[in-house]
């Protein structure tokens, strides 16, 4: 998905909505309405896998820790290598904050 494309009005609205959230409680409420429990777990897991990869964990360690397949670890690794840097940006920002 590219940004600033006229076809991305729905995505722009979604991102504006996310940027308007002011607390963790608001995030829980909004994402609880927006996503299924399974979708939320999947998003959270991808972020955790990215954190583990950035911190030097191996595929096998991540698979053991998360009980997920190597396919999801590989997808996240590809995002880290060839993506837009989103994982790195967010993980840098939350490092050291209460989670």
pLDDT tens-digit profile of 33-68? 999 999 999 999 999 999 999 999 999 999 999 999
Same domain, yes or no: 28 and 42 = no
Same domain, yes or no: 22 and 51 = no
pLDDT over 70 percentage in the chain: 91
Q: How far apart are CA 43 and CA 58, in angstroms?
A: 20
pLDDT at residue 59 in the model = 95
Same domain, yes or no: 70 and 23 = no
Same domain, yes or no: 51 and 81 = yes
pTM exceeding the 0.95 threshold for the entire prediction: no
Task: Give CA separation, 12 vs 1, 33, 55, 56, 90, in Å.
Answer: 11, 18, 31, 34, 19
Same domain, yes or no: 15 and 59 = no
Whether residue 14 has pLDDT greater than 80: yes
Domain coverage including residue 2: 1-34
Are 35 and 43 spatial neighbours (Cβ–Cβ below 8 Å)? yes
Whether residue 99 has pLDDT greater than 50: no
Same domain, yes or no: 58 and 69 = yes
């Amino acid at each position: 998905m590219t940004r600033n494309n006229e076809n991305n009005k729905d995505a722009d609205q979604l991102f504006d909505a996310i940027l308007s959230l002011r607390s963790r409680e608001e995030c829980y409420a909004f994402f609880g309405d927006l996503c299924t429990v399974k979708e939320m777990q999947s998003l959270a897991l991808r972020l955790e896998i990215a954190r583990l990869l950035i911190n030097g964990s191996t595929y096998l360690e991540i698979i053991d820790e998360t009980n997920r397949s190597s396919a999801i670890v590989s997808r996240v690794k590809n995002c880290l290598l060839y993506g837009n840097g989103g994982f790195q940006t967010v993980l840098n920002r939350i490092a050291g904050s209460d989670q």
